[in-house]
Structure 1
Amino acid sequence: MAVIIAASAAMMSSCHIYKKFELPEEGISGQIAAAQKEEVDSTALGNIEWDEMFTDPQLQALIQIALDKNVDLENARLNVEIANAQLLGARLSYVPQISLSPNGGTASYGGSKITSNSWSYQIPATATWQLDLFGGLLNSKRQAQASVKQTEAYEQAVRSQIIAGVANCYYTIVMLEKELKLSQETAELWKESVQTMKDLKEAGRYNEVAVVQAQANYNSIMAQIPQLEDQLNQAYNSLSLMLNSAPQRWTVDTSYEPVFPEYLEEGVPMKYLAARPDVKAAEQSFAMAYYSTNLARAAFYPNITISATGGFTNLLGSVIKNPGEWFYQLAASLTAPLFRSQNIASLKAAKAQQQQSLNTFEYTVLSASSEVSNNLVSFNKNRERVKLLEEQVKNLEKAVEYNNDLLTLGTATYLEVLTAQQSLLAAQMSQLQCDLSISQSAISLYQALGGGR
C-alpha cells in the first residue's frame, strides 16, 4: 500500500490537483487578473452607494421597499444560504464520521428458559475517516467556496438590477407626468386659439378654414391626453410589480431634478469591469469548472479510509460473559480504480466544460465593456442634445409669442401660428424625453459599472 500511495502522490503532484484556481495570464482573462490587483477608486461611479447616486427622497423610499420585498432578491439571498450550507458540508468531510449502533438479542432452543444470562448485547461506536491524500475533498471544498462567491455575486447583480429597474420606472413616470401636464396646459392655450380664430372670423379677418384648422390642432392635443394617461397607468403598475405590491399610484416628485455629471470620460479601466457582479459570477463559474476537472483527475487515484470501532459487549465469540468487556478494532481500506474508461470520459467532459466556462467568462467581459461604452456615449450625446433642445424651445416660445402678436395685427397667417404652436410642443416633448434618456443612461451606466451597493 505504501508503494501505491507514494507512486500516486508523485503522479498527483505533476497534475497540479492541489493547485488553486487562477485566471489565465494571457488575453482578456490576464487583463482582468491584473486589474483585480489594482486599487479601485471608492468615488468612482460604480462604487457610489445607491442612496448617494439617487438623492430624491421619494425614489429612495421606493427603492428601499423593493429591496425589502422583492421576491427575486429574497430567492438570491436564500441561494447564498444554500451555498454556505453546502460549503459547511464540504468542510465537515474532513471530520471523522461517527456512528453508534447498539444491538442485543437472545435465543431459546428446545424450550429452554430465557434468563438474563442468555441475553447478548453490543454497544459499538464506529469512526470513519477518509484521508485526503489525492485532493478529492480539498477540491470539493474549494468548489463549494467558489459556489458561495458565485451566489453572492448573483445576489449583488439582482440587487443592482432591482435598484436600476425602480429608478428607470420612477423617472419614466416623472416624464409622463410632465408630458401630461404639458399637454393639458397646451390644450388650454390651443382652446383659446380656437376662440381667437372664431373672433377674427366674426371680424371678417379670416374664413371658416382658419377656425377648422385651429379646432383640428386642438383635437390633436386632446387625443394625446388619454394615451398619456394610459401609459402612466401602465408605468405605475410596472412599478407596483417591482415593489411586490398591488397596483396603485405612488408618490413621485416631478419638481426634483436629478443630479448627474455634466460629462463622463469615455473609456473605462478594466478594474471597473472586474468589479461587476456578472463578471465575478462568470469567474467563479470558471473556478467551479476548474475544480470539477481536478475532481475528475482525483478519481484516477485510490481512496483511503481509516475506520475504528470500539465499545462494550458481553459476547465474546460464541460465549456470553457477564459482566461485559470493552473492545476495539482498527482497520484501513484502499479502493483503487482498475477499469478507468468512465473516469477517462468524465475527465474529458470536465476539460471541455472548463473551456466552455472560460469562453463564457471572456464573452461576459467583452459584453460588459460594450455595455459600458454604449452607455457612456449615450449619456454624453444626450447631454449635448438636451442643450440644443433647450435653445430650440426658447426660440420657439418667442416664435409663438411673436406670431400671436402679428396675428392680431393682421400681418401673420393662421398657418404660421399653428405651425409655431405644433413645433413648440414637439420640441418641449423631445426635451422631456431627452431628460429621461440622460437619466436612463446614467442609471444603466451605474448598473453596468457594478453599482447598487
Structure 2
Amino acid sequence: MIKTSLTPLAALFILSGCLSMAPDNEQPELPVAQNLTISEQETDVAEQLMLSEWQNFFTDDNAKALIAQALEHNRDLRIATARVAEVKGRYQIQWEEFIPGFRGEVSQTRGRDLSTFTGGSVMFNRYDAQVGLVSYELDLFGRIRSLSDAALNQFYATEQAERFVKISVIAETANAYYSWLSAKENLNLAQQTLNSRQESLDLIQKRKDNGIASDLDLAQAQAALAQVSARKSQLERLYTVSKTNLELLIGTPLNQVSMTDSQQMPEMMSLELPDNISSNVLLSRPDVLAAEHQLYAANGNIGAARAAYFPSLRLTGDFGFASNEFDSLFDGDSETWTFMPSISVPIFGNALNAQLDVAKAQKEQMVASYEQTIQQAFAEVYQLMVNRKSYDDELNANLDLVKAQKRRLYLAEAKYKAGLASYLEVLSAQQDLFAAEQAKLESERARLANTVTLYKALGGGDTVSQ
C-alpha cells in the first residue's frame, strides 16, 4: 500500500524541472557586415585571432609593473569582483529551490495543566524529535528552472562584466602611463627650448650692446622667451593631471611603485592583424558576451512568467518521535508523521498577464542592447584598424618635419649671424621646430594609444580565443 502511494509521488519528483516554457536561447543574427575589411584587395578571412596575454603584449617593464599594481588595487575592479561574488550567491540561493529542504528539531516541553479526573493541576513533560520537509514546490511547469537559468545567466553576465573591467583597467593604465611619459617628455622639451630661448636672448642682448642687433630683435627674443615660458606652465599642469590620472588607476602614489630608471616612450607593441577579419571575433568580447547572457536571462524570466499561469504543487511533511519519557522517545510506538500536499491555482490573471508582458518587454530591450553592443564593437574595431596606418603615416611625416625644421633653423641662424637675414626668420624657425617636436611626441603617444585600445577592443588577449 505504501509503495503504491509513493509511486506517483516519485514520478512527480522525477518529472520536476523537466519542462521549460522559456524561449530557446539563440544568438540573434549579427546586425553588422560579415567581415571587418580595411583593404580593397581580396584576402582570406581570419575566423579567429589569438592575442597574447598582457604580460607578453607589453614590452615595457614599467608598464607591466603599473598594470599589476592596478589589477591589485584598482577600486573599479574590486567593485566588479565583489559584484560577481554577490550574483553568484544569488544564483546559489535560487538553485536551492530545486532541492528539497529538510530541517531537524529536538525539543522538550514542560508545563502544568488541569487534570480532568482530579480537578487539580498536574505537571507534564513532552519530548519531540522530528525531521521535516520544508515546503517544497514540485517544478512541474519549469518555473523554478527558468528562474534558476535566469540567475545563472545573470551570474555569467556579471563575470563577463568583471572581465571587461579588467581589460579596461589594463588598457587604461597603459595609456595613462604613456600619456604621463609623453607629458614628461613634452615638459623636458619645453625646458630645453626655454633654455635655448634664454641663450638666444642673452646673445641678442650682447649684439645689441655692441650695436649689431636692433631693439626689434631684442623685443622679438623677449617675446619668444615669454611664449615658451607660458607654454611650459601649461605643460606643467598637463603633467600633473596625467600623473594624477595614473595614480587614480593604480590606486596608490606613483613613487610607491618600483619602476626602472628608464622612463621613456617604449617601442611599438607587436599586434599583427590581417586586413580581413570575420565579425564573429567580436562575439568573444566580454561586453558582447555579457549582453548575450543578459538576453538569455530575459528568456528565463519569460519562462517563469509563463509557468505562473499553471497550478503549483507544494509538499510539506515531517517524521519523528514523541513521548512523555525521554528514555522511550525512539520506541516504535512513539513514531509521528504528517504529510501535507497543497495545490495553488491562479484564478484572476491580470497580474500574471502584466508580468509576462514585462518579461517580454525586457527581452526586447536585451535584444536591442545586444545588437547595439555588437554594432558599437564593430565600429570601434573598424575605426581603430583603419587608424593604424594613418598614425604610422602621421608619425613618419612628423619625423621628416622635425628633421626639416632643424635644418631650416640651422640655415636661418647662419644667415642671421652673417647679416643676411633678420632675427624674425630665426624666431619663426625656432617656433616651428618647437611645434614640430611637440607634434612628433603627440603622434608617438596617439599611435601607442591606438594600438593598446585596439588590443582591448579585440578582447584584451586574456587566454580566450578571439
Instruction: Assess if the C-alpha contact under 8 Å between 2:157 and 2:290 holds in 1.
Output: yes
Aligned to 1:82: 86
- Corresponding residue to 1:328 among 329, 337, 342: 337
Residue 28 of structure 1 corresponds to 31
Structure 2 counterpart of 1:368, which letter? A
Per the alignment, residue 48 of structure 2 pairs with 40
For the residue of structure 2 that corresponds to 1:134, the secondary structure is coil
Q: State the match for 1:70 in structure 2.
A: 74
**Cα distance in 2 between the residues matched to 1:30 and 1:180:** 45
1:22 and 1:56 mapped to 2: Cα distance? 43
3-state SS in 2 of match to 1:271: helix
Distance in 1 (CA, whole Å) between partners of 2:160 and 2:443 is 33
Deviation at 1:101, TM superposition (A): 4.3
Equivalent position of 2:220 in the other structure: 213
Given the superposition, is the C-alpha separation of residues 97 and 249 from structure 1 closer, same or farther in structure 2, using an over 3 Å criterion? closer
8 Å CA contact 1:266–1:377 kept in 2: the answer is no
Q: How many angstroms does 1:323 deviate by?
A: 9.1
Structure 1 match to 2:282: 273
Match of 2:98 among 79, 88, 94: 94
Paired position in structure 1 for 2:387: 378
Secondary structure class of the residue paired with 2:334? strand
Q: Secondary structure at the match of 1:300?
A: coil
Q: Which amino acid aligns with 1:119?
A: N
Q: What is the DSSP-based 3-state SS (H/G/I as helix, E as strand, rest coil) of the residue aligned with 1:108?
A: strand
Displacement of 1:260 in angstroms is: 3.1
User: What SS is found at the alignment partner of 1:93?
Assistant: helix
Aligned AA (1:108): D
- Tell me which residue corresponds to 1:112: 120
What does 1:278-357 align with in structure 2 at a 5 Å threshold?
Answer: 278-314=287-323, 325-357=334-366
Rounded to whole Å, the distance in 2 between the matches of 1:93 and 1:309 is 18
State the Cα distance separating 1:279 from its structure 2 match.
0.9
Q: Would you say the 8 A contact 2:22–2:304 is kept in 1?
A: no
Structure 1, unaligned stretches of length 5 or more?
33-37
Quick check: 2:282–2:374 contact (8 Å CA) kept in 1?
A: yes
Q: CA deviation at 1:188?
A: 1.9
User: Aligned partners of 2:137 and 2:271: how far apart in 1?
Assistant: 62
Q: Compute the displacement of 1:173 (Å).
A: 0.9
Query: Separation in 1 of the partners of 2:287 and 2:154?
Result: 14
Match of 1:123? 129
Show the counterpart of 2:139: 132
Q: For the Cα contact (< 8 Å) 1:187–1:218, is it kept in 2?
A: yes
Deviations 1:1-48 (A, max 9, x none): x9xx99xx9xx97xx616652223x4539979xxxxx96332xxxx32
Structure 2 letter corresponding to 1:98: F
Query: Could you tell me how far 1:74 is from its partner in structure 2?
Result: 1.2
Given candidates 180, 183, 192, the residue that maps to 1:185 is: 192
- Partner Cα separation in structure 1 for residue 202 and residue 417 of structure 2: 13
For residues 27 and 69 of structure 1, do their structure 2 counterparts lie closer, same or farther at Cα, with a shift above 3 Å needed?
closer
Match of 1:435 in 2: 444
Q: Distance in 2 between matches of 1:262 and 1:425?
A: 32
The Cα RMSD (Å) is: 3.0
**Letter of the 2:410 counterpart:** E
Distance, in Å, in 2 between the alignment partners of 1:263 and 1:102 is 70
**Which of 134, 159, 164 is the aligned partner of 1:157?**
164
Instruction: Say whether the 8 Å CA contact 1:179–1:429 is kept in structure 2.
Output: yes
CA spacing shift, 1:152–1:404, aligned 2, 3 Å: same
Alignment partner of 1:259: what SS?
coil
Residue from 223, 233, 246 that aligns with 1:226: 233
Give the whole-Å Cα distance in 2 for the aligned partners of 1:193 and 1:395: 21
Q: Is the 8 A contact 2:201 2:221 kept in 1?
A: yes
Shift of 1:269: 2.4
Inter-partner Cα distance in structure 1 for 2:288 and 2:361: 21
Alpha carbons 1:125, 1:309 under 8 Å: kept:
yes
Tell me the SS of whatever aligns to 1:119.
Answer: strand
CA drift of 1:430 comes to 0.5
Aligned to 2:41: none
Segment drifting more, 427-436 vs 140-149: 140-149
Distance 1:370 1:30 in 2: 11
Letter in 1 for 2:185: K
Consecutive aligned runs of 4 or more in structure 1 exceeding 6 Å deviation: 29-32
Distance 1:395 1:39, change over 3 A: closer
In the alignment, structure 1 residue 422 sits paired with structure 2 residue 425:
no
Aligned position for 1:367: 376
Return the alpha-carbon distance in structure 2 between the equivalents of residues 222 and 78 of structure 1: 48
Q: 1:189 to 1:249 in 2, by over 3 A?
A: farther
Report if the CA contact (8 A) 1:368-1:448 is conserved: yes
Structure 1 Cα separation of the partners of residues 143 and 293 of structure 2:
19
Q: Is the 8 A contact 1:313 1:324 kept in 2?
A: no
Offset from partner CA, 1:338-368 (integer Å, 9 cap, x none):
2111111110111111111101110111111
**Cα distance between partner residues in 2 of 1:309 and 1:324:** 16
Q: Which residue of 2 aligns with 1:35?
A: none
Aligned-pair CA distance for 1:397: 0.6
Structure 1 residue 264: deviation in Å?
5.5
Contact 1:375 1:441 in 2 (8 A): yes
Instruction: Tell which deviates more after alignment, 265-274 or 212-221.
Output: 265-274
Is 1:176 matched with 2:183?
Answer: yes
Using the aligned pairs only, state the percent identity: 26
Count of paired positions: 428
Contact preservation (8 Å) 1:390, 1:431:
yes
Q: Which moved more, 1:266-275 or 1:443-452?
A: 266-275
Q: Does the CA contact (< 8 Å) of 2:47 and 2:278 recur in 1?
A: no
Distance 1:88 1:327, change over 3 A: same
Contact 1:156 1:452 (C-alpha < 8 Å) held by counterparts: no
Distance 1:187 1:22, change over 3 A: same
Letter in 1 for 2:148: K
Deviations 1:47-66 (A, max 9, x none): 32112222211111111111
Checking the alignment, whether the CA contact within 8 Å between 1:236 and 1:248 is kept in structure 2 is no
Deviation at residue 256 of structure 1 after TM alignment: 4.5
